[in-house]
Amino acid sequence: MGNSSTPADPPAIEAAGITKSFGRSGERVAALTGVDLTVRTGTLAALLGPNGAGKTTLVRIIATLTRPDAGRISVLGFDVVAQPARVRARIGLTGQYAGLDEALSGRDNLVLIGRLAGLGRRPARERATELAALFGLTEAIGRLARTYSGGMRRRLDLAASLMTRPALLVLDEPTTGLDPGSRQQLWAVLSTLRAEGTTMLLTTQYLEEADRFADIVHVLNHGRVIASGTAAQLKARMGRAVVEVRLAEPAATAAAARVLTGRLALPPGAVHAEDGTGRLTVTAASRAGVVGEWAGDGTGTLLAAAAALRADGVPVADLSLRQPSLDEAFLALTGGPA
């Protein structure tokens, strides 16, 4: 299956105005209320959102399992509603629940799914052996799947979706419920796949995963994509960098807070200090503007704070600048508890 990227390649996923509601008329619950989404080939896109945001519904629509009520969506250039068979031939799905027959061995599962996807008997067996090795399942591959641990089951399930080398891999919360070791193992495999050029869309509740691994993060909330961009862009959009100050003498905390507020002419609340701890934080005044005589952005705030403290002779042990975390950006975007 060729997935070499030329400029003429259609996007892996292109969705516009997708809506979907469930339930009987009268008490219908809207799961998606107008999703616009583009995923370029060769990227790893994360779909981030709180529970009930519509992540699974969107994944099911992309994987041809559920029809949208309205809107247009194409996967690798094929319309999901009009050409589901074409889409199915090109995608791999790892759902929230393992798509395995627990009463069969790991190998039986892989071969069955590979053959149902169109592989011949020998290629299916060879691919199963190859994937078992890649996923560290070589020892267990002959055992019944019901004897597998949660992490092994998840890896087997992922292997099953890779039997035909899909051009697009869709994963619904692949790491939920896994212990840290298994999660890391799974991410190692996903990173290998990305390096090989597989386009991936995955949903996750773990912001840290989206931050570390995704090329693009799409934030889904109340059935809509409310923000898209790299993790860094989302954090920047959320805005202000934070300067963290650690004083050499904890007793000087209150004095330092007065100095910073006064000299930098900051609004109340921009400086946070806990008396006697020697730790203060200063939120940048603006993203790009100028405040008084100094640049109000993160770097400007850092320099101004350092100058102010030095001028008043407050000894500083450490001064650092950090961007808001994706958690903070996510909560700000989704209006969740801060």
Q: Which residue ranges make up the site for other proteins (CB under 8 A)? A: 22, 60, 63-66, 85, 88-89, 91, 93, 95-101, 103-105, 108, 112-113, 115-118, 144, 157, 160-161
Q: Which is nearer to other proteins, 74 or 253 (CB)?
A: 74
Are the beta carbons of 150 and 182 closer than 8 angstroms?
yes
Q: Which is nearer to other proteins, 128 or 245 (CB)?
A: 128
State how far the Cα of 313 lies from the Cα of 263, in Å rounded to an integer. Answer: 13
Shortest distance in whole angstroms from residue 15 CB to other proteins? 17
Q: Which is nearer to other proteins, 8 or 85 (CB)?
A: 85
Shortest distance in whole angstroms from residue 89 CB to other proteins? 4
- Enumerate helices (H) and strands (E) in the chain, giving the number of each: 11, 16
Write a three-state SS string for 215-273.
CEEEEEECCEEEEEECHHHHHHHHCCCEEEEEECCHHHHHHHHHHHHHHHCCCCCCEEE
Q: In what order do the strands lie in the sheet with 216-221?
A: 91-94, 168-172, 199-204, 44-48, 216-221, 224-229
Q: Which is nearer to other proteins, 12 or 302 (CB)?
A: 12
Shortest distance in whole angstroms from residue 180 CB to other proteins? 23
State how far the Cα of 18 lies from the Cα of 175, in Å rounded to an integer. Answer: 26
Shortest distance in whole angstroms from residue 93 CB to other proteins? 4
Shortest distance in whole angstroms from residue 157 CB to other proteins? 7
Q: Which is nearer to other proteins, 117 or 236 (CB)?
A: 117
* Residue 141 burial (10 A CB sphere; 0-12, 13-18, 19+): buried
What 8-state DSSP symbol labels residue 167?
S
